[in-house]
Each structure stands twice: as structure tokens, then as C-alpha cells.
Amino acid sequence: MLSKRIIPCLDVRDGILTKGVKFKGNVDIGDPVTAAERYYEQGADEIVFYDITASAEGRNIMIDVVRRVAERIFIPFSVGGGIRTVDDMRRVILAGAEKVSVNSAAVENPHLITEGARAFGNQCIVLGMDVKKVAPSAGTPSGYEIVIQGGRKYTGIDALWWAQEGERRGAGEICLNSIDADGTQEGYEISLTSMISTQVRIPVIASGGAGKPEHLTEVLTAGRADAALIASMVHYQTYTIPEIKHFLQGKGVKVRNLW
Amino acid sequence: MIGIVDYRAGNLTSVARALNYLGEECRITDDPEILAAASHIIFPGVGAAGEAMANLRERKLDDWIRKWVADGRPLLGICLGTQVIFAYSEENDTECLGLVPGAVRRFPELRGEDGRLLKIPHMGWNGVRFTREHPVFRDIPAGAEFYFVHSYYPAPAEDKWLIGETDYGRPFCSAVARNNLVAVQFHPEKSGRPGLKILANFCRWGGRDAE
């Protein structure tokens, strides 16, 4: 049986590991390559890098980070943030990333998913979705709306529809981030996660809100997620990955042991 | 030198990085003359069977690989490379290399323990039950897990070629061994320490099965 994946998310700005709260203010917390290596050694099942750099030079620094990570860790990792073209995808894949994640750019140009899947295979393309709870309406019947540009811009697109559209277009996986829960450390948004995860056939990574191991149990069982993204709870070393996995095993959640 | 067969089937650099980490010299190439100088051949790949076979034929690598294996030299298939080693793949209705009799089939609609449809692709970490001893799988802990990403799985015509099994709704063949050929459906280059151990074992393997 497949193990549920525990995935640390590293936000990187100009080559430095950083962590933001609700897309406001960021604090620098170290070297992303060192952090990735530490999580690999601890038994992370995958790593997600999110490049929040604005400048072109910063993007080149990120490619260098990807290359150095790929030489040291031998688990899959994905890179998202600022991926706007198939060429952007190719750069990070050639630098050693297993997957690329597209978010705002896919909303603005859905062909990016289709073209990326055709060029590199569905398994390479992760559809990142930033979602906010809204009153259900004709345009957003699921009660969840896609927001872009770091949570600043509402799109009027229904989150469930977009998840299914992404799957049709060839995304191999969905990384589902609740803007409402992100950075709160008060738990994942369970109803959103289970709604999306049960209505697509591709794996769903839950993101936003992890603060304690109980939150992961909840999202990996009731939330039906295939994987859980974590950030603050390990970046500040409140918990280690083995502690989280041990807790999950005690709750009957199948996770991978480190050998 | 370890030869990595380049047939435009996805990104092969991750296999090369893992070998470099292990201190093994390797070359990614589609040139049979360079490959002929290798001690071992790794045949990786990600993508679709139809295009993969077309690319192999176009580069005349299909016959080259058949001859390499017929000469008794060690070959390791990974993921799509493993699938095209079989006689036939349901993916794009493709006639493949035929180095192991059997077919590659699409996962049917299977339900998990909770009664829900299992997701396809089979993506993530899963265990492998090795059914017998083999030098390439030596010193792999029984509970070790490996990273998989695939929608099709190999079904060898005879059980004697099956050496590893994985459960996804029901058991499927995740590792194959036949004489000087071994092939795995998972990605050893992305499977942490146990995966690196398999690659290291392969690089030191003389090509004789333990049997």
C-alpha cells in the first residue's frame, strides 16, 4: 500500500530560505540546500521549493539552488513560483527537479498545463491552487474560489471546477493551498481538501495550516489527502519529521520508515 | 564506465547524479560505440511506450540492446525502460523489445481498503516484497520503500522472472530478473538510501543471477 507523503515546503527568496504568514511579511530562516539535506536525512518523502523571488537574477540563483540540491538529495522534489513557460519548466527540470508546479500562470494561460504535460509527461506537472472560502454562488458553486498573485487577486473561478479542469489538461498532481489556513498553524482546511481529493483521480497534496502532528492525521484521514505539506512546524524545529511520522503511525496512518 | 541509454525518454540526469554521488563514472548517450565501452548499461526512461520504442528504433538502439543482453552483459531497466523490455505494452498498443516474455498492462479501476477508487498514476512510496535472493537486491531491508510513478505495470509471462511484488489494490510485479537483466518499476535514483544501494549493487554486479 502507498504511504502517505510528508513534504516540507521551502519558500526561497533570492536563494535564502524564508517563511511568510498569510502572504504578508517574510522572515529569512537559512540556507535552502542545508535545510533540504536535513529533511532528506530525516526521512522527508519529497520536497517542495517555492521560489518567491521577483527579479531575473534571483531566478538564476534558484536554478543554482536546484542544481546543488539535486546533487545531494535522492528523493523527488518540485519547484514552483515564477514558472510561466515550457522553457521555464525545462530549466528547472534539467537542473534536477522531478516536477514543476504552476499556479497563477496556469490560471492566466491554461495551455501551460497541457503543453507542459505533453513536453515532460503528466507526472512532471503539479497544479498549485491557492483557494479562499467564499459564499457559494453561480460562478463558485463549491464555495471555494481560486485566487492568484499570492492571494491578492480573486479570479471568479470555482476551485473544484479548476481542479478537474487541471486534471483534464494533464496535471499529474494537485497541491491545494488554503489561503485562509496558510500560516495560522491551526490546522488544514479539511472540508476543502476532502472535497477536491475525492473528486479528482490524481493525488492531492494538502497545504496550509499545519501546526502540530494531529493536523496531519486529520488531513490524511478525514481530509483524504495523499500527502501533507509542512513548513513552520519543522523549519523552526518545533518538530522533526521522525517525530511527526511516529505520531502518524501511532494513529494508524501508513507512512514510510527511514532505512 | 556505466552507460545510460539516451533515447529522448525524459530527464536522465537524475540517474547520472545518483551514480556520480556513488562515485561511479557514467555517460548519457545514444551512441552505440560509446555505450559498447561500458561495463554496465542502465536503461531508464519516463514517458509513453509508443514514442519510446519509435525513438529506440530510429536510433537502432533496439537491436543494440537486444545484442547487449544476448551477450550476457548486465543491464538495469528503470520505470519506462523496464516496461519496454517486455514483449508488448498496452500503452499505445506497442510491440516492445521482447527481452522478457509478458505484457505491460494499464492499472484497472481498483478500490482501496476504504472502498474508494485508487488514484492513477500510482505515485509515491511503496514497499517491495523480494521473492528470492539476488545480488542486485542484496542488503535491502525488508521494510524499505521505493518511489513509484506509473500508470502501467509489468506482467511477466512466467512467475520465475518476477523477483519483487508491490501492493496497489492488488499485487503487481515491481521488479524483474532474468539472467543478466534486472528491471525495476520504481525509481532507485529517487528512493533515498535503499535505492542508492540497488544502484551501487548493480554497478558491482557481474551479470550472473544468484540461481
B96 belongs to the catalytic site: no
Reported as type and span, the H/E element at residue B174 is: strand B170-178
pLDDT of A26 over the 70 cut: no
Chain A CB contacts of B189 under 8 Å are 74
Q: CB–CB of A258 and B192 under 8 A?
A: yes
The verdict on B101 touching A (C-beta cutoff 8 Å) is: no
> What span, in angstroms and rounded, lies between the C-alpha atoms of A28 and A16?
7
pLDDT of residue B18: 97
Q: Is there a contact between A203 and B123 (Cβ–Cβ < 8 Å)?
A: yes
A22 — pLDDT class (breaks 50, 70, 90): very low
pLDDT of residue B140: 96
Q: CB–CB of B145 and A3 under 8 A?
A: yes
pLDDT of B70 over the 70 cut: yes
B residues 60-89 lying closer than 8 A (beta carbon) to A: none
Round to the nearest angstrom and report the end-to-end CA distance of chain B: 26
User: Does the domain formed by B2-203 have CATH 3.40.50.880?
Assistant: yes
Decide which of B68 and B112 is more confident. B68
Q: Among partner residues B121, B125, B192, which is closest to A172 by beta-carbon distance?
A: B121
Q: Is there a contact between A129 and A162 (Cβ–Cβ < 8 Å)?
A: yes
> Residue A258: CB partners within 8 Å, gap ≥ 6?
A42, A43, A242, B192, B193
Please give the average per-residue pLDDT across A72-99, as a whole number. 94
pLDDT in tens, A158-185: 999 999 999 999 999 999 999 999 988 9
pLDDT of A55 over the 90 cut: no
Please give the average per-residue pLDDT across B151-172, as a whole number. 96
Q: CB–CB of B192 and A75 under 8 A?
A: yes
> Residue B204: CB partners within 8 Å, gap ≥ 6?
none
Helices (H) and strands (E) in chain B, counts: 6, 14
pLDDT in tens, B103-145: 999 999 888 877 888 988 899 999 999 999 999 999 999 999 9
- Report chain B's mean pLDDT, rounded to a whole number: 94
- Report chain A's mean pLDDT, rounded to a whole number: 93
- What are the CA-CA distances from residue A215 to residues A3, A8, A181, A222 (Å)? 17, 14, 12, 10
Please give the average per-residue pLDDT across A57-80, as a whole number. 93
pLDDT of A24 over the 70 cut: no
pLDDT in tens, B1-41: 999 999 887 778 999 999 999 999 999 999 999 999 999 99
Return the C-alpha torsion angle B60, B66, B67, B71, nearest 10: 160
pLDDT in tens, A180-215: 999 889 999 999 999 999 999 999 999 999 999 999
The verdict on B28 touching A (C-beta cutoff 8 Å) is: no
pLDDT of residue B114: 78
Q: Is there a contact between B184 and B164 (Cβ–Cβ < 8 Å)?
A: yes
Decide which of A68 and A26 is more confident. A68
Residue of A nearest to B139 (CA): A259
The structural domains of chain B, with segments of one domain joined by +, span 2-203
pLDDT of residue A57: 74
A11 belongs to the catalytic site: yes
Cα Rg of chain A, angstroms: 17
Chain A CB contacts of B143 under 8 Å are 257, 259
Provide the percentage of residues in chain A whose pLDDT is more than 70: 97
Cell of B135: 545480488
pLDDT of residue B211: 45
pLDDT of residue A130: 96
Domains in chain A, ordered, with CATH? 5-250 (3.20.20.70)
CA atoms within 13 A on the CB side of B6: 14
> What span, in angstroms and rounded, lies between the C-alpha atoms of A217 and A220?
5
pLDDT of residue A20: 59
Chain A CB contacts of B167 under 8 Å are 1
Chain A CB contacts of B125 under 8 Å are 2-3, 5, 45, 256
Our CA-based measurement puts residue A71 at a distance from the nearest CA of chain B, in whole angstroms, of 6
> Residue A177: CB partners within 8 Å, gap ≥ 6?
A128, A129, A130, A131, A207, A208, A229
Cell of A19: 517563511
Q: What is the model's pTM?
A: 0.94
> What span, in angstroms and rounded, lies between the C-alpha atoms of A143 and A101?
24
pLDDT of B210 over the 70 cut: no
pLDDT of residue A92: 93
**Which of B119, B126, B198 has the most A C-beta neighbours within 10 Å, making it the best mutation to test the interface with A?**
B119
